[in-house]
Amino acid sequence: MTDRLDQPRELAPVRLRIHYDPEAFGQLSERIARFLGTARFIVYMTVFIAIWLVWNTVFPARFDPYPFIFLTLMLSLQASYSAPLILLAQNRQADRDRVQYEQDRIAAARTQAEIDYLTREIADLRLAIREMATRDYIRAEFQRLREELNERGSGS
């Protein structure tokens, strides 16, 4: 391919790609989301904020005076990371639920097919039993044949 001097050269865009394991990241996000939904997290966060407020109102070495802008920034940062992690964890759970639902549906269909088969087999067995000669029926037939033979033997 010849380079043309009357046209600018097309440069491939430089992309910085960070490689990560999506499964490991997903598991980490689930652990974080699970922790964020506990009473322990609320207690830790409350203690942290209380210490922050006391430190910056009572002690002379204040690093975040009254409007507490740095605290607000940190809480906003924490919320901006928590929300996507919680959503990622919920999406992963929804995917697992979808797979489990599909497996349950397949198992239920298989079970229903087996129940239908067994129902037909039981119905066939009931019909066969009705047609089967019972012990009482055979005794009655033998009795009838014996009487018939006795009549023939005495009548000849």
Percentage of residues in the chain having pLDDT higher than 90: 58
Domain regions of the chain by residue span: 22-147
Count of other CB atoms within 10 angstroms of residue 33:
20
Residue 136 or residue 56, greater confidence: 56
- Mean pLDDT calculated for residue range 95-111: 96
**Mean pLDDT computed over 106-126:** 94
At 2 the pLDDT is 62
Q: Which two tokens stand for residue 145?
A: 């044949």
58, 52 contact by CB (below 8 A) = no
| Mean of pLDDT values over 115-144 | 87
List pLDDT tens digits, range 14-68.
778 888 898 998 999 999 999 998 999 999 999 999 999 999 999 888 999 889 9
The sign of the CA dihedral 60, 62, 68, 69 is positive
Does 130 score more than 90 pLDDT?
no
In this structure, the number of other CB atoms found within 10 A of the CB of residue 129 comes to 9
Q: Is the pLDDT of residue 105 over 80?
A: yes
Phi, psi (degrees; rounded to nearest 5) at 131: -85, -15
